[in-house]
């Protein structure tokens, strides 16, 4: 009898497990909602950015999915590792970018289970001998432990008003 009660209790509690509902929306997929994700995802992105700052192209490419997709802030699109390596090498040579992450948040879409991150960066480049600083927000997806795709949004960091400069 005790075993029967125990089995019934387990079945009853399993049937009453909390349903994860998530928050937010994605207009093209109205059923998608979002919950907090794992720091493993933001740690992966931090490692990826470190490889960029170290100009470790081999490591960057090893962290990319074969079919990586990148949409830049000006709408340009990169498809696959080969295009990414070519574009990144040219950018490293032309502007010597350096990234400094100032915030990051992993999130998971439900019910699909996709792992995403959104990360804020301060990016410093050298354009024609002049230092240019931008804030870059990057929203991306990780699949099978690799950077699968990401979208870059940028804004120039304005100079502080003259009355604040002392």
**With 70 as the cut, is the pLDDT of residue 109 above it?**
yes
Residue 12 pLDDT:
53
Is residue 3 very low, low, confident or very high in pLDDT (cuts 50, 70, 90)? low
Closest C-alpha among 100, 111, 108, 110 to residue 141: 108
Q: What gap in Å lies between CA 84 and CA 71, rounded to an integer?
A: 11
Is residue 11 very low, low, confident or very high in pLDDT (cuts 50, 70, 90)? low
The domain 26-164 is placed in CATH, from the list 3.65.10.10, 3.30.460.10, 3.10.450.50, 1.10.760.10, at 3.10.450.50
The mean pLDDT of the chain is 89
Residue ranges per structural domain of the chain: 26-164
pLDDT in tens, 65-102: 999 999 999 999 999 999 999 999 999 999 999 999 99
**With 70 as the cut, is the pLDDT of residue 153 above it?**
yes
Q: Is the peptide bond before 111 cis (omega within 30 degrees of 0)?
A: yes
Residue 159 pLDDT:
75
Residue 140 pLDDT:
98
DSSP secondary structure of the chain: -HHHHHHHHHHHHHHTPPPP--B---TTSTT-EEEE--HHHHHHHHHHHHHHHTT-HHHHHHHEEEEEEEE-TTS-EEEHHHHHHHHHHHHHHHH--EEEEEEEEEEEEETT--EEEEEEEEEEEEETTEEEEEEEEEEEEEETTEEEEEEEEEEEPPPPPGGG--
| Lowest-confidence region among 19-28, 78-87, 140-149 | 19-28
Query: In terms of pLDDT, which residue wins out, 138 or 20?
Result: 138
Considering the entire predicted model, what is its pTM?
0.82
């Amino acid at each position: 009898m005790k075993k029967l009660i125990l089995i019934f209790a387990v079945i009853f509690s399993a049937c009453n497990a909390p349903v994860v509902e998530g928050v937010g929306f994605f207009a093209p997929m109205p059923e998608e909602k979002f919950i907090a994700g794992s720091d493993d995802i933001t740690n992966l992105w931090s490692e990826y950015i470190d490889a960029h700052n170290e100009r470790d192209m081999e490591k960057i490419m090893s962290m990319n999915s074969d079919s990586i997709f990148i949409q830049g802030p000006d709408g340009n699109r990169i498809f696959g590792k080969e295009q990414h390596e070519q574009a990144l090498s040219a950018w490293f040579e032309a502007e010597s970018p350096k990234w400094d992450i100032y915030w990051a948040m992993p999130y998971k879409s439900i019910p699909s289970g996709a792992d995403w991150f959104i990360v804020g960066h301060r990016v410093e480049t050298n354009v024609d001998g002049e230092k240019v600083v931008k804030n870059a927000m990057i929203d991306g997806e990780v699949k099978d432990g690799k950077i699968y795709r990401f979208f870059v949004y940028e804004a120039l960091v304005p100079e502080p008003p003259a009355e604040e400069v002392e």
